[in-house]
Amino acid sequence: MNIASLGEARFPSPVAQVVSDQARIPAVIVRDPAAPKRDDVLFELAGPRAKLFFDPVKTRAGIVTCGGLCPGMNNVVRALFLELHHTYGVAEVLGFRGGYQGLDPARGPEPVVITPAFVDQIHHHGGTILGTSRGPVDVAAAVDNLIRRDVNILFTIGGDGTQRGGNELFQQSKRRGHALSVVGIPKTVDNDVAFVARTFGHFTAVEEAVKVLDCAHTEARSVHNGLALVKLMGRHAGFIAAGATVANQDVNFTLIPEVPFKLDGPNGFLSTLKERLKKRAHAVIAVAEGAGQELFGDAATDKDPSGNIKLKDIGLLLRERIEAYFKEAKIPIVMRYFDPSYLIRSSPANAADAVLCDLYARNAVHGAMAGKTGLVIAFLHDTFVHIPIEMLVLEKKRINPDGFWWKAVLATTGQPARFE
Amino acid sequence: MNIASLGEARFPSPVAQVVSDQARIPAVIVRDPAAPKRDDVLFELAGPRAKLFFDPVKTRAGIVTCGGLCPGMNNVVRALFLELHHTYGVAEVLGFRGGYQGLDPARGPEPVVITPAFVDQIHHHGGTILGTSRGPVDVAAAVDNLIRRDVNILFTIGGDGTQRGGNELFQQSKRRGHALSVVGIPKTVDNDVAFVARTFGHFTAVEEAVKVLDCAHTEARSVHNGLALVKLMGRHAGFIAAGATVANQDVNFTLIPEVPFKLDGPNGFLSTLKERLKKRAHAVIAVAEGAGQELFGDAATDKDPSGNIKLKDIGLLLRERIEAYFKEAKIPIVMRYFDPSYLIRSSPANAADAVLCDLYARNAVHGAMAGKTGLVIAFLHDTFVHIPIEMLVLEKKRINPDGFWWKAVLATTGQPARFE
Amino acid sequence: MNIASLGEARFPSPVAQVVSDQARIPAVIVRDPAAPKRDDVLFELAGPRAKLFFDPVKTRAGIVTCGGLCPGMNNVVRALFLELHHTYGVAEVLGFRGGYQGLDPARGPEPVVITPAFVDQIHHHGGTILGTSRGPVDVAAAVDNLIRRDVNILFTIGGDGTQRGGNELFQQSKRRGHALSVVGIPKTVDNDVAFVARTFGHFTAVEEAVKVLDCAHTEARSVHNGLALVKLMGRHAGFIAAGATVANQDVNFTLIPEVPFKLDGPNGFLSTLKERLKKRAHAVIAVAEGAGQELFGDAATDKDPSGNIKLKDIGLLLRERIEAYFKEAKIPIVMRYFDPSYLIRSSPANAADAVLCDLYARNAVHGAMAGKTGLVIAFLHDTFVHIPIEMLVLEKKRINPDGFWWKAVLATTGQPARFE
Amino acid sequence: MNIASLGEARFPSPVAQVVSDQARIPAVIVRDPAAPKRDDVLFELAGPRAKLFFDPVKTRAGIVTCGGLCPGMNNVVRALFLELHHTYGVAEVLGFRGGYQGLDPARGPEPVVITPAFVDQIHHHGGTILGTSRGPVDVAAAVDNLIRRDVNILFTIGGDGTQRGGNELFQQSKRRGHALSVVGIPKTVDNDVAFVARTFGHFTAVEEAVKVLDCAHTEARSVHNGLALVKLMGRHAGFIAAGATVANQDVNFTLIPEVPFKLDGPNGFLSTLKERLKKRAHAVIAVAEGAGQELFGDAATDKDPSGNIKLKDIGLLLRERIEAYFKEAKIPIVMRYFDPSYLIRSSPANAADAVLCDLYARNAVHGAMAGKTGLVIAFLHDTFVHIPIEMLVLEKKRINPDGFWWKAVLATTGQPARFE
């Protein structure tokens, strides 16, 4: 989406090689004569444009980081600032503090004016220098604040809820006649964003998860009937659990939200686990936090301040059920339970993610300066594209139980395709 | 390419969900109305097929690793074996030792019969358990050997030369009426393979290079006029230097093969470096080994046993020229020279590369069992495809001096687009 | 203690430079005129002796690893074997499996005959290749087994209980006229062994704990009123918590078993924490698992199979009490709880510990071959010594609340000396 | 040494538990009836004293870092400041910049007034935030400057030359009636300081060296007759090479300055290496930079600005001689040369070194505030002591070719005790 309808100001880009505004990337690139025909979904190519919508010397930009931590948030903040400041020469970049609360003067502290010194070393550290919080943005208060501060560009680093909030900020600004470009950088360690091949921080999370699985394997095989149970992040999608399983190669059972499983019965998880112990006397189990929610029945569900459903703790349930099962079967086991989530998400970005953060951020600046709004930057098919927020929030990306990820997990673990 | 012409044997795949043999991925996916029309280059989608060409119980497969070390070689060997053994149940998997020499009984040792125990821990270690060497394959001797040992499938893990050799093995086998499926897994830390977005080990190399740049930055800024010069791998393409520069964010000058540069003159590298020292009193320089070869004049060029041109040492040249320049200018400097190449390529694969290795290898097995030959597996546009070896060796992938990689380097370093 | 009373056989040492059997190291080396006079406690210097008690070519040695995992166990096993095999040339080295159960043929599997290939790579991995378990040794069954297998030397890698068990094995063997040299290598990540400056694996544990504290600090300071609470190992002594606090430098409160603390009251922990939050809006708390046991009242106490008292969970208590306190005070906090224990102890040994393991093990072999028994090897005052097991188990080493460790913690954290 | 002769001012210590000024530690603690009697060398125990010589509120302290980089320099700077500022409350702490040049206003930049914000994150980074340089101090200019700035305490972080310079500063200040306490923290990655068991940064250097040896081993064993030659730091003493060899366990030959060796002849290094290649087809060689200097003949020797003799490059000599030897013998080899020195010394301190840095620094502050001068802090026999600079510079600590370190190297490598 382009906010040019609000005005026609156009300035030349400072970047030599630019990207055509007509270039598109299809969402689906496989051509299969046997597959049913579908209309193409096409995305704008991200990158610098020949003409800017905003005059850099008069432009104020803001950055806000929301939701849970994710490796690379500081890298994104740093590269946003450096591109705005050095490449485009914008007048000022404000860092709003403490997530969306920081957009509301009544709730958050004063924003920081970002400088080169402020961002000098931040990419070496995890977390977010700007602070973060959960919870929705007060749209009216935030737009008042942005107008008062003369902010024309806002970068929102966050998940679904954050991006939806960003969209509302843009819509309300438009209604009030204030040209506000809102460009999101999708943030989720879970890598579950539709149309996005790889969100920043995800590879780092997998790398950290692999270290935990290494420890789990060591614990499990150092004792007789050692069971190491590792709960990994992954609310709706098992990409961390699957990626870490395939990278680590020593996991025997991986459980993800996309593939429901039964505990009991002759083909259930518990009796399969017993068979494994009989043969090999140890086992490593990786479970995504969103897996097996169907096992809890239809109890009422709480929500967190961001509106996310509070998941039932599948890790603790599994631990209890496994211990009870083997106690009943009079088979002594040694259970080791690992719940490393904060350790994983608070790490600094690894090299591959640091590069990704830099490219996400600089493409976000290109889009914003060209007057694009209501979109997020996405890395898809080796390319950066623009995705309208409305499309992004329609669905989540999940592991296809018939696709190559699940096949890779099954090949590595040797577990049956289903516990049923 | 399919070797079905040699026979019509067809066996059902043990993998439930299979990929259509008609599915294709285009090499170029951007649709730009302004761009000139070109014929599509299309690649077969990799993955398990409905019908196998080889009967697993009668099939012998071989694996060979060639050329310089690269992170992840052992992961590939391991996953090839596990997929052949567990998923397809082939009769035997041989590991040929010491590169292509191992295919020739007169030059190499007896191959090893690979077992689960043999591959149990190898993915935790860098290098290759099978050993490697440089130099071409003796095609006649190798085909004799493969026929004698009843080997129908050969996986070649190596660079351009290795894949060309693999193609010759397949061609000669065909002429001799022996059904030999040769499937390559492209191996280059430099990530310079045409049509391949990401070769295995490349991200690990970038990660290790970043650590060296961190040390270089520490050395440079701890003394007055500290200059840290880091020579990184990259014979024809600067992807490691560029990736490490963007990830590290502390490099001031990056020199790559794709962008020639002048040392002398008012806009040359040396006087720009002097300006930097005047302002900031330290500098970090990353140079790809293949950069600046034009500075050596047209001296005769040696080749290594693999037929690669022996590069002139741009690292040492730069060091000498920089030291001479500042001596002449009577500006004392402290020069720190880093040449970490073996440290980088001998590391074990990081998590992202471990996953990539697994998927490369399992797709190679799917292709070979279906009777594909004369191709390599490639990861392109988030997908695995088959690329005919003839196409692969036509050109190398390089950094486009007008593209986003070089733009990202310039943005991070703040260096001028050209030294000229 | 020397088992020479059982016989007078003496063989020349294969090691050129040997240590005098009369050399001693005092336990206390500070000379302070103002301090009260005490009788010296002196320890034998460890190291190769001129004469061996056992004839290598007729000697069988055994190794057993017991109790919880600790970084470096495999390094010790490896160096024990290499010294026995290469330096002394003993006939056979048996690895008893699964801890003390493995000494009892009725309960454990057959021991493994250790070879160079068996130990080739084990030092790169955490855990113990021999397996481990908790629980006492069946002395009669074990001595029967050792006599039957003609084992004259047993190395026991384990904690207090293990070493006490080793002493009983030696005593009973002596009563039965079997020359058995039992030499212990003390194993505790907690570093709480009397007369031992540094047990193997402790530095690695501190290193891993520091990584967790880094993550905790990142989590705490990325949100408003972020509280990161990290439970670290340390049943009776706070050396891991103190060491990690001093190394990390970002912890604000460290709680250890040696310094009791009050939660309530104006100088209690909770109100001090509230003051910290008011000033800085985040805090990192490290608590050793054995800290604050006095807060649980005199409830009955369970024991684990090794006879260790099962500690009450101070981490969970603190979390509950902190959450309740701030809820009551109507101060919103964001609590992040970390319980990384298995992650810390299952790591491979770092370099400093790898060296320590090698030296512990080789000194253990020297002592055993010279016919020493009923002792453990200790690293004290930069030197390796022999400590009789009876002395070792008299007391535990703990942090002196008036000494330099606690002073260093207070200086780093800025916390008050006592919460009372 | 105590500067109390300059005045009698005495202030109470803010530290509750103090150390007696009469407490001593002997240099030699082994008691061996067979050893010849020697007079004891005794060292003062370091630690807080009951009475301070300097009144904190009127005291200005300075810190200077000199010579080559070493892991932990920033940790020392940070802990010095924090102890001076928080524990003692001194008026001001100055950071002199760029080594001893920074003490001379004519040659160095203005010193920085250190604040909590200045040191907040520095311990996470290698190098020195204050900058460093080589070369002697201009004593007269420096003392002028210290008097003018009213600096009464100077902490010198550096090697032999630095400490000698510090001693001269103290002596000249005394002659000029200015009470100046100079307390050194010995800095050498080589760990070759007399009477010091462990200098800060040494363990980190060993850890980094081990990583290089891992890579070297991978390179060597992945090809036929692979030779990996690693040059490690160690000008006069082989502690890094020996420590890394024992920790890594995969080195086959270790060469150190303390044990001269012959290259030629039937028992020389080269023919022993040939035997190794015949048997195992690969070898890893670690050589300390100061080893084998006797092989260069008595050529004239240059010195660097610090007055250190410039070593001849034993790494390159070995590489040439090995290549020539095997060429002559017509045995093809693959040589991999590693020279990682800057990579090793510029790393941040690991946890064990971070703790050591903290304790060194805080003990230095205790000594200085009590009016001690002309001494360095040393960690000896698990204790911190004061060593007069005159004693320290009398000799260097070296590996005893008959002691346990060399024995451990021989046991690990399996190499002969001497090549002669």
Q: How confident is the model over D261-286, as pLDDT tens digits?
A: 999 999 999 999 999 999 999 999 99
pLDDT at A300 over 70: no
Q: What is the pLDDT of residue C335?
A: 97
CB of C77 less than 8 A from some CB of A: no
Residue scoring higher pLDDT (C326 or B1): C326
pLDDT band at B300 (very low <50, low <70, confident <90, very high): low
Q: What is the pLDDT of residue C35?
A: 79
Q: Which of B404, B406, B409 to probe by mutation at the A interface, max A CB count within 10 Å?
A: B404
Closest residue in D to B341 (Cα–Cα): D338
Catalytic residue numbers of A, as ranges = 190
| Residues of C in Cβ contact (< 8 Å) with A219 | 69, 127, 342, 346
DSSP secondary-structure letter at A293? Answer: G
Nearest to C165 by CA among C64, C302, C94: C64
Number of C-beta neighbours around residue D40 at 10 A: 11
What digits encode the pLDDT tens for the residues B67-77? 999 999 999 99
pLDDT at C36 over 80: no
Q: What is the pLDDT of residue D6?
A: 54
| Residues of B in Cβ contact (< 8 Å) with C125 | 121, 124
**pLDDT averaged over chain D?**
94
Q: How far apart are CA B132 and CA A286, in angstroms?
A: 35
pLDDT at C394 over 90: no
Catalytic residue numbers of D, as ranges = 190
Q: What is the pLDDT of residue A163?
A: 96
What digits encode the pLDDT tens for the residues B385-398? 999 999 988 889 99
pLDDT at A357 over 80: yes
Locate tokens 């019509």: which residue?
B8
Closest residue in B to C121 (Cα–Cα): B121
CB of B83 less than 8 A from some CB of A: yes
Q: What is the pLDDT of residue B7?
A: 57
Name which of D17, D22, D358 is nearest C34 (Cβ-Cβ).
Answer: D22
Q: What is the pLDDT of residue B215?
A: 97
| Residues of C in Cβ contact (< 8 Å) with D402 | 16-17
Question: pTM for this one?
Answer: 0.96
Q: How far apart are CA C306 and CA C310, in angstroms?
A: 10
Which is catalytic among the residues C104, C160, C190, C353?
C190
CB of A249 less than 8 A from some CB of D: no
Closest residue in D to A125 (Cα–Cα): D124
pLDDT at A6 over 60: no
| Residues of D in Cβ contact (< 8 Å) with B219 | 69, 127, 342, 346
Q: How far apart are CA C311 and CA C291, in angstroms?
A: 9
Q: Which of C214, C218, C335, C344 to probe by mutation at the A interface, max A CB count within 10 Å?
A: C218
Locate tokens 């930097």: which residue?
B276
What digits encode the pLDDT tens for the residues D323-337? 999 999 999 999 999
Closest residue in D to C72 (Cα–Cα): D247
Q: What is the mean pLDDT of residues B15-43?
A: 87
Nearest to D346 by CA among B334, A353, B69, C354: B334
Residue scoring higher pLDDT (A330 or B6): A330
Q: What is the mean pLDDT of residues A316-335?
A: 97
Number of C-beta neighbours around residue A120 at 10 A: 12
Task: List helix spans (H) across C370-403.
Answer: 389-392
What digits encode the pLDDT tens for the residues C141-186? 999 999 999 999 999 999 999 999 999 999 999 999 999 999 999 9
Q: What is the pLDDT of residue C180?
A: 97
Q: How far apart are CA A370 and CA B103, in angstroms?
A: 58
CB of C128 less than 8 A from some CB of A: yes
pLDDT at C6 over 70: no
**pLDDT averaged over chain C?**
94
pLDDT band at B108 (very low <50, low <70, confident <90, very high): confident
pLDDT at B306 over 80: no
| Residues of C in Cβ contact (< 8 Å) with B121 | 121, 125
Supply the angle between the helices C202-221 and D351-369 in degrees, to the nearest 10. 80
pLDDT band at C15 (very low <50, low <70, confident <90, very high): confident
Q: What is the mean pLDDT of residues B354-361?
A: 98
Q: What is the pLDDT of residue C8?
A: 61
DSSP-based three-state secondary structure for C145? helix
CB of D58 less than 8 A from some CB of A: no
Size of interface B-D (CB pairs under 8 A): 79
What digits encode the pLDDT tens for the residues C102-142? 999 999 899 999 999 999 999 999 999 999 999 999 999 99
Please indicate whether, in this complex, the C-beta atoms of D338 and B336 are within 8 angstroms of each other. Answer: no
pLDDT at C46 over 70: yes
Please give the backbone phi and psi of residue A22, each rounded to the nearest 5 degrees, phi first: -95, -10
Q: What is the pLDDT of residue A110?
A: 95
C-beta of residue B100 within 8 angstroms of C-beta of residue B156 = no
Name which of D127, D339, D347 is nearest B222 (Cβ-Cβ).
Answer: D127
Q: Which of C22, C29, C121, C282 to probe by mutation at the D interface, max D CB count within 10 Å?
A: C29
The residues that bridge with A377 in the sheet, in sequence order, are: A386
Q: How far apart are CA A191 and CA C359, in angstroms?
A: 47
Please indicate whether, in this complex, the C-beta atoms of D20 and C31 are within 8 angstroms of each other. Answer: no
DSSP-based three-state secondary structure for D376? strand
For chain D, give percent helix, strand, coil, nearest 5.
40, 20, 45
Query: Distance between the two ends of chain C, CA-based, in angstroms?
Result: 46
Q: What is the pLDDT of residue D197?
A: 96
DSSP-based three-state secondary structure for C173? helix
Q: Collect the ranges in chain D with pLDDT lower than 70.
A: 1, 4-9, 298-301, 306
Name which of A87, A248, A355 is nearest B246 (Cβ-Cβ).
Answer: A355
pLDDT at A200 over 90: yes
Q: How far apart are CA D43 and CA D378, in angstroms?
A: 10
Here the tokens at position A140 are 């009216």
Supply the angle between the helices D160-175 and D139-148 in degrees, to the nearest 10. 60
Nearest to D405 by CA among A84, B230, C359, A186: C359
Here the tokens at position D295 are 């092989």
**Of the listed ranges A332-341, C253-262, D25-34, D327-336, the one predicted with least confidence:** D25-34
CB of A278 less than 8 A from some CB of D: no
| Residues of C in Cβ contact (< 8 Å) with B126 | none
C-beta of residue D17 within 8 angstroms of C-beta of residue D48 = yes
Number of C-beta neighbours around residue C281 at 10 A: 17
Using alpha carbons, list the distances in angstroms from residue B122 to B103, B129, C138, C347. 22, 7, 38, 18
pLDDT band at C16 (very low <50, low <70, confident <90, very high): confident
Using alpha carbons, list the distances in angstroms from residue B73 to B352, C84, D134, D312. 14, 36, 44, 38
Q: Which of A212, A218, A319 to probe by mutation at the C interface, max C CB count within 10 Å?
A: A218
Q: Pairing mode, if any, of strands C375-380 and A153-158? A: unpaired
Q: What is the pLDDT of residue B38?
A: 76
Q: What is the pLDDT of residue A38?
A: 76
Catalytic residue numbers of B, as ranges = 190
As a three-state string, the secondary structure of chain B is CEHHHHCCCCEECCCCCCCCCCCEEECCCCECCCCCCCCCCEEEECCCCCEECCCHHHCEEEEEECCCCCCCHHHHHHHHHHHHHHHHCCCEEEECCCHHHHHCCCCCCCCEECCHHHHCCHHHCCCCCCCCCCCCCCHHHHHHHHHHCCCCEEEEEECHHHHHHHHHHHHHHHHCCCCCEEEEEECCCCCCECCCCCCCCHHHHHHHHHHHHHHHHHHHHCCCCEEEEEEECCCCCCHHHHHHHHHHCCCCEEECCCCCCCCCCCCCHHHHHHHHHHHHCEEEEEEECCCCHHHHCCCCCCECCCCCECCCCHHHHHHHHHHHHHHHCCCCCEEEEECCHHHHHCCCCCHHHHHHHHHHHHHHHHHHHCCECCEEEEEECCEEEEEEHHHHCCCECCCCCCCHHHHHHHHHHCCCCCCC
Please indicate whether, in this complex, the C-beta atoms of D408 and C42 are within 8 angstroms of each other. Answer: no
